[in-house]
Chains A and B, each alone.
Chain A
């Protein structure tokens, strides 16, 4: 019990330290917010005219997909931040202190929720400007945002593990590009998966990122009764399917990352 308490107390100290960086390096925040704005505008205006999913306004369809992609990209911060600490020897200092072995990871993933909340806020405002609307109740809308944050949080632990494996922030950025691009594109994030070639379509339908986007759409009321109902279980129950994935990812990557932290020798 007291172990868990220290993990949170120490984690809070680390999270605070990470958040101070947002204050000291405002450029970081500028780029964190500009790229989601850019994505919303690009997809809405460049592709928006050519893509028309059945029964629903494309911009409404699109926003949840961009939310999903952006928060997943946000996990790169977790990995890059840890790799940077590793490289600079800060992790060595932490490891020599009588602190909880999981605190650095708990703190890092927690502070990255704040990054994601900032970028979701910015994207929502941009979305509202280009015509996106929440058509459900407040609790459902909050549920939609929470679903995105839960999944992003789980994914942060994946990137935390990657960050400690490679221990160079540049490599984390490149590696995450290779992972994050396919899993966010081979999904129903930007286009409905119905028209994909059969293999890709199956992958997209069972891709948890599709479920995150679909779940958020449902909770924001961005789906249309006129649209054909999904044929696969994962998209019929996107919220449940997403939560199952969150649980699986956390169950695998939390212990894996903590183990890697314990043994990580930065040189």
Chain B
């Protein structure tokens, strides 16, 4: 299928801060691209440019074959956006929110209502559809916000950190909904800080940092870049460490790493389960007490750490634009909440 989202050389500066520094993106139709990076990496800026909210300083971008700068109106007719803070109106009910968006997409009165009820049903909000959003939980607001992005059944969907701040249960639920959409042919660009999320949902992952692409590939390809499988072993006592190390050294494809305090040994292996079995048989023969053993594939966390030199979620040093604004919003949101009576 042809490429539905194409961006090349996107640059955006805010004063002296460079949010995007020549970003290229390609998303083939019907696939999911995960845009992965820490706070302030430029993820939101990229989404804002692709959804016509922001003009790039330079570079070009096309969505559904339409240039975002020369015909933003036509792009807007084909996209759905769900941003970082659930952009739903607190004073309206869930239904009224969706109905309003439907009318603004020019669906017409009847179809807008019908579609709103349908979406409330899909997102398990039917029972609360006629209550003001003010009384909704964070997860419900997120679901409603995503529903609002889907009102016009857009061909291209942009989700900017759709699950940040959600509890694990709500996150898994939302993933389920997103998977269904993708199965039905929606092209999706998803930004996330959660490596697991990209792993779960994305066909293709672009890792960005400081506004630049630093890696690109499928989840498996990225993991392969960091290294293959590892055997991880936890032994019962410190005296078990030495014999275990010599066993692993025979089986391993590389250096054995020992964590004395955790009594943990890690070694890269190439033989998969066979190597694991061999190691276990020999450990048993040598009477080494094994508390825990497993084959561990590298996670995207490992990928991130290897590529950027810092972990994905600890990013105090470079949380510029996105990060600080988000904290601000949260602070203000809390203040507002305490001032107004709960209905």
Instruction: Give A residues with C-beta under 8 Å from B.
Output: 6, 10, 13, 16-17, 20-21, 24-25, 27, 87-90, 92-99, 103, 168, 265, 267
Contacts and interface: CB of A to CB of B under 8 A. Distances in A.
B129 interface: no
B85 interface: yes
Nearest to B343: A24
Given A13-B100, A92-B81, A92-B83, 12 more contacts: A10-B103, A25-B340, A88-B85, A89-B83, A89-B87, A93-B87, A94-B104, A96-B51, A97-B104, A98-B77, A98-B106, A99-B104
B108 to A, nearest CB: 11
Contacts of B54: 265
B321 A20 contact: no
B321 A96 contact: no
A20 B325 contact: no
Contacts of A88: 85, 87, 90, 333
B89 A17 contact: yes
A265 B53 contact: yes
A20 to B, nearest CB: 6
B342 to A, nearest CB: 12
A87 B85 CA distance: 10
Interface secondary structure of A, over-half rule: helix
A161 to B, nearest CB: 20
A96 B54 CA distance: 10
B106 A265 contact: no
A223 B86 CA distance: 54
B132 interface: yes
B117 to A, nearest CB: 18
Nearest to A94: B104
A27 B77 CA distance: 38
Contacts of B333: 88
Contacts of B343: 24
Contact of B76 (A17, A87, A97): A97
A87 B329 contact: yes
A267 B105 CA distance: 25
Contacts of A10: 103-104
Nearest to B96: A20
Contacts of A21: 91
Given A88-B85, A97-B76, A24 B104 contact: no
Contacts of A99: 104
6 tightest A-B contacts by CB? A89-B87, A267-B325, A93-B87, A98-B76, A98-B77, A96-B81
A50 B84 CA distance: 58
Nearest to B333: A88
Contact of A20 (B83, B92, B104): B92
B85 A24 contact: no
Interface in B267-295: none
Nearest to B78: A98
Interface centre among B53, B54, B84, B333 (most CB of A within 10 A): B53
Contacts of B90: 88
Contacts of B51: 96
Contacts of B201: none
B158 to A, nearest CB: 8
Interface in B18-49: 48
Interface in B42-65: 48, 51-54
Given A93-B148, A96-B51, A96-B81, A25 B91 contact: yes
A92 B134 CA distance: 19
Contacts of A168: 332
A8 to B, nearest CB: 13
A92 B53 CA distance: 7
B79 interface: yes
Interface in B317-343: 321-322, 325, 329, 332-333, 340-341, 343
Contacts of A20: 91-92, 96
B249 interface: no
